[in-house]
A and B are shown apart, each in its own frame.
Chain A
Amino acid sequence: MEITDIKQWYISNFELFEESLNGSRETPFHEVRRSAISKFSELGFPTPRHEEWKYTNVAPMLEHKFKLPTEVAKVPKEVLRDFTFDTLKENLVVFVNGLFSEELSNIALNSDDIIVSSLRNAMVNHADLVYKHLGRYVSFEDESFTALNTAFTNDGTFIFVTDNKVIEDPIHLIYISDGDTELVSHLRNLFIVGKNSQVKIIESFHSLSDTTYFNNLVTEVFVDECAIIDHIKLQEESINAFHISNSQVQQERQSVYRTVNIDLGGGLVRNNLNVLLNDEHCESHLFGFFLGQGTQHIDNHTFIDHAKPHCFSNELYKGILDDKARGVFNGKIIVRPDAQKTNALQSNKTLLLTDDASINAKPQLEIFADDVKCTHGATIGQLDDEAMFYLRARGIGEEMAGAMLRHAFISDVLENIKIEEVRERMDAHIIERFTKALKS
Chain B
Amino acid sequence: MSTEQETIEQFTKSEYKWGFTTDIEEEFAPKGLTEDTVRLISGKKNEPEWLLEWRLKAFRHWQTMTEPKWPNVKYPAIDYQDAYYYAAPKKKKELKSLDEVDPAIRETFDKLGISLNEQKRLSGVAVDAIIDSVSVATTFKDELSKHGIIFGSFSEAVQNHPDLVKKYLGSVVPYTDNFYATLNSAVFSDGSFCYIPKGVRCPMELSTYFRINAANTGQFERTLIIAEEGAYVSYLEGCTAPMRDENQLHAAVVELIAHKDAQIKYSTVQNWYPGDENGKGGIYNFVTKRGICSGDNAKISWTQVETGSAITWKYPSVILKGDNSIGEFYSVAVTNNYQQADTGTKMIHLGKNTRSTIISKGISAGHGQNSYRGLVKVAKNADNARNFSQCDSLLIGDKCGAHTFPYLEVHNKSAKIEHEATTTKVGEDQIFYCNQRGIDTENAVSLIVNGYCKEVFKELPMEFAVEAQKLLAISLEGSVG
Contacts and interface: CB of A to CB of B under 8 A. Distances in A.
A366 B417 CA distance: 22
B397 A354 contact: no
Given A355-B413, A371-B398, A365 B421 contact: yes
B421 A377 contact: yes
Interface string B385-413: 00000000101111111111111111111
A354 to B, nearest CB: 5
B121 interface: no
B415 A375 contact: no
Contacts of B407: 360-362
B398 A337 contact: yes
Contact of B413 (A368, A372, A382): A382
Contacts of A352: 410, 412-413, 415
A358 interface: yes
A375 B420 contact: yes
Interface in A365-409: 365-382
Given A364-B406, A365-B402, A375 B413 contact: no
A177 interface: no
Majority-rule SS of B interface residues? strand
A360 B408 CA distance: 5
Contacts of A363: 404, 406, 419, 421
Interface residues of A, number: 36
Given A367-B395, A370-B395, A357 B419 contact: no
A350 B413 CA distance: 10
A171 interface: no
B416 interface: yes
Nearest to A327: B410
B422 A381 contact: no
A166 to B, nearest CB: 37
B70 interface: yes
B415 A381 contact: yes
A352 B382 CA distance: 14
Contact of B404 (A340, A361, A376, A380): A376
B380 A379 contact: no
Contacts of B418: 377-379
A299 to B, nearest CB: 14
Contact of A370 (B400, B406, B411, B413): B400
- The majority secondary structure among interface residues of chain A is strand
A374 B412 CA distance: 30
Contact of B393 (A355, A357, A367): A367
B403 A366 contact: yes
A61 interface: no
Contacts of A379: 416-419
B396 A370 contact: yes
B425 interface: yes
A428 B36 CA distance: 73
A365 B393 CA distance: 10
Given A355-B380, A367-B423, A374-B423, A380 B415 contact: yes
A359 interface: yes
Nearest to B392: A375
B10 interface: no
Nearest to B380: A355
Interface in A23-52: 51
Contacts of B419: 361, 363, 376-379
A265 B417 CA distance: 26
B421 A367 contact: no
A201 interface: no
Contacts of B216: none
B364 to A, nearest CB: 8
B contact residues, range: 20 to 34
Contacts of A362: 405-408
B414 interface: yes
A364 B401 CA distance: 13
Contacts of A361: 406-408, 410, 419
A419 interface: no
B424 interface: yes
A243 to B, nearest CB: 23
B401 A368 contact: yes
A353 interface: yes
A81 to B, nearest CB: 38
Contact of B397 (A350, A355, A370, A381): A370
Contacts of B425: 370-372
Contact of B403 (A51, A350, A360, A365): A365
Contacts of B412: 352, 355
Contacts of A358: 409-411
B412 to A, nearest CB: 5
Contacts of B403: 364-367
A376 B415 contact: no
A382 B416 CA distance: 7
A161 to B, nearest CB: 36
Contacts of B410: 350, 352, 358-361, 380
A265 B215 CA distance: 62
B55 to A, nearest CB: 30
B408 A380 contact: yes
A378 B402 contact: no
Contact of A374 (B70, B408, B417, B422): B422
Nearest to A361: B408
Given A355-B380, A379-B417, A364 B405 contact: yes
Contacts of A360: 407-410
Contacts of B380: 355-356
B369 to A, nearest CB: 9
Interface in A284-300: none
B420 to A, nearest CB: 5
Contacts of A376: 404, 419-421
B421 A372 contact: no
Interface string B363-380: 000000000000000001
B413 A357 contact: yes
Nearest to B395: A370
A364 B404 contact: yes
B4 to A, nearest CB: 11
A139 B380 CA distance: 38
Interface of A: 51, 55, 337, 340, 350, 352-382
5 contacts: A364-B403, A372-B395, A376-B421, A381-B416, A382-B413
Interface of B: 70, 380, 393, 395-425
**3 closest residue pairs by CB, A with B:** A370-B395, A380-B417, A361-B408
Given A337-B398, A352-B412, A380-B417, 6 more contacts: A355-B380, A355-B411, A358-B409, A365-B403, A375-B423, A379-B419
